[in-house]
């Protein structure tokens, strides 16, 4: 049995009331694109039982339920406030939502066809411990992380820590982590923040003054990066990306050191 002490009191307290605020529209907007990425990389599989670990307030599950992704949906979340929000949604395909200690998944081996871990791993204190539990419980795992690492990131530590991001990944470093834990990569994708999300962040969250010129600038920057990514290949697409999504499947391999 894994110790519940692995999840520090500081982390538990930080997320206790995380989903009781009024940022519902912001979370739903971001969740729509996360859910789209998940569905896209999972096109080769047809999961019946799907578990989201670190399900937050159920924003992603809302879209998966609406899009008929998976016949049975389950949710685990460390914050009771998140579980309460998930249950309030009354999702037709949701079978169970409960809290957990952040590491020990309360289901038997191979209980699920797919586990979703979306924008969670960057918050996890003991990432390999959690990945091994995911591998134990599911045939496939889809993980999405923000691509925080880029030039000048060492000067923005407070920014990321304020969001609870204690781990930082590139597509390469995440692939290494997953492969070194014996997971086989099935498919992946990089994605940039949609102009729709940037508009909301600038004009609603940051309360910047609205103008046509600002909207055009956002659209232009997005369009240029997409064009250059398509023109110059995968390395450039990964450089411009804001998120990385990867579908893995369980193999018989385990971590080998030396």
For residue 42, what is the domain's CATH number?
3.40.50.150
Is residue 90 assigned to a domain? yes
Is residue 85 assigned to a domain? yes
Is residue 197 assigned to a domain? no
Residue 249: pLDDT above 70? yes
pLDDT of residue 252: 74
Is residue 25 assigned to a domain? yes
pLDDT of residue 15: 57
- Predicted confidence band of residue 1 (pLDDT cuts 50, 70, 90): very low
Q: Which domain holds residue 129?
A: 7-192+243-250
pLDDT of residue 3: 44
Is residue 36 assigned to a domain? yes
Is residue 78 assigned to a domain? yes
Residue 258: pLDDT above 70? no
Using a cut of 0.85, tell me whether the model's pTM lies above it.
yes
Taking only the tens place, the pLDDT of each residue in 175-234 is 999 999 999 999 999 999 999 999 999 999 999 999 999 999 999 999 999 999 999 998
Residue 219 structure tokens: 């659209």
Residue with more model confidence, 43 or 4: 43
- Tally of domains in the chain: 1
Is residue 257 assigned to a domain? no
Is residue 200 assigned to a domain? no
């Amino acid at each position: 049995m894994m110790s519940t002490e692995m999840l520090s009191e500081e982390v538990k307290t930080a997320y206790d009331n995380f989903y009781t605020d009024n940022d519902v529209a912001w979370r739903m907007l971001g969740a729509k694109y996360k859910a789209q990425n998940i569905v896209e990389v999972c096109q080769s599989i047809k999961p019946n039982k799907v578990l989201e670990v670190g399900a937050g307030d159920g924003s992603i599950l809302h879209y998966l339920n609406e899009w008929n992704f998976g016949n049975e949906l389950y949710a685990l979340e460390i914050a009771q406030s998140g579980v309460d929000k998930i249950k309030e949604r009354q999702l037709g395909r949701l079978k169970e939502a409960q809290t957990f200690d952040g590491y020990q998944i309360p289901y038997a081996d191979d209980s699920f066809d797919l586990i979703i871990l979306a924008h969670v791993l960057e918050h996890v204190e003991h990432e390999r411990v959690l990945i091994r539990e995911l591998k134990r419980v599911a045939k496939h795992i889809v993980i999405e992380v923000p691509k925080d690492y880029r030039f000048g990131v060492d000067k923005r530590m407070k920014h990321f820590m304020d969001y609870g991001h204690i781990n930082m990944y590139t597509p390469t470093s995440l692939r290494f982590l997953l492969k070194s834990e014996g997971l086989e990569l099935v498919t992946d994708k990089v994605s940039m923040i949609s102009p729709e999300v940037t508009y909301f962040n600038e004009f609603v969250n940051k309360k910047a003054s609205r103008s046509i010129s600002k909207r055009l600038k956002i659209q232009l920057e997005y369009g240029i990066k997409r064009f250059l990514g398509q023109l110059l290949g995968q390395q450039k697409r990964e450089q411009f990306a804001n998120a990385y999504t990867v579908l893995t499947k369980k193999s018989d391999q385990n971590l080998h050191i030396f």
